[in-house]
Amino acid sequence: MQEKIKPILNGAAETMLQSFYARAQYSKNKRHKFYDAKAVELVEKIDYDFTVATNDSLMSYGVIARTLVFDELVKEFIDENPTCTVVNIACGLDTRFYRMDNGKITWYNLDLPETVEVRNQIFAESGRVSNIGISATDSAWAKEIKADGNILFIIEGLSMYLTREDNAQMLRIIRENFDNAYVLMECLSKRWVAKENVEKSIQKTGAKFIFGADSFDDIKDIARGFRSVKDDDITRGMSAIFPVLKLINWLPIAHKLSQKILIFEKV
């Protein structure tokens, strides 16, 4: 029997384990709207106590809802740009490449060195998938990306753990190093900043929610050189999980409280 991997992580880096587990558990549900085969297969290779994550339904539903919406948005981009490059910032143990791959895309996973070390132990990735162990705020990672044509940047599950200045630096790196850049950036609703205690599994890691944005207008000062394409959110992802929510999604409050996905491109 193969020895299990015991990851040494804490804070925001540790939250990747919660998301990975949530996707694996959801995929085992017969009513799943997506199936994360890699998460189901590989979650058993990790030696980690997922008890708190198991009991944190709020965190799990949020992860699933945003996965559904991100999958939709990423697929749309790849369908329109079949030979594009995708850079998955703060990738954690994300397996979206395996659901989105059309046999032509090039995919880079970017995260902290300690996170990528865990990822490399779990996944045997090569070819059109590369893993880069550098902080998203360190411009050195830009030199590792080889891209021609359109390039999609996915920023999922990260911005809320960074300061405003760090988020600005991350976007500055994209703006200064890449043309034809298109960005999908998840942001916590401003109403949830400093309220990480509502998600017990996140609170357990010691991670803090310190940044939020409700629209592109809220980040215009740190996203200079970009223009808004659309302000989106995960409400339709929640409705896919709980169809009854479609009855209240027309209410403005439903969108105000929801996690945002801000879509913008380099000018």
Report whether 27 contacts 37 (CB < 8 A). Answer: yes
Amino acid letter for position 139: S
Concatenated DSSP letters for 238-250?
A: HHHH-GGGGGTTT
Report whether 20 contacts 92 (CB < 8 A). Answer: yes
Backbone angles phi, psi at 240, to 5 degrees: -65, -35
pTM of the model: 0.87
Fold of 11-266: Rossmann fold (3.40.50)
Output the six-digit token pair for 27: 């995929």
Report whether 199 contacts 251 (CB < 8 A). Answer: no
Tell me how crowded residue 166 is: count the other CB atoms within 10 A of its CB. 18
Per-residue pLDDT of the chain (267 residues; tens, 9 = 90+): 457 878 777 677 778 888 888 999 999 988 888 898 888 988 888 888 888 777 777 778 888 999 999 999 999 999 999 999 999 999 989 999 999 999 999 999 999 999 999 898 888 888 999 999 999 999 999 999 998 889 999 999 999 999 999 999 999 999 999 999 999 999 999 987 867 666 565 666 677 889 999 999 999 999 999 999 999 999 999 898 888 777 777 777 767 778 899 999 999
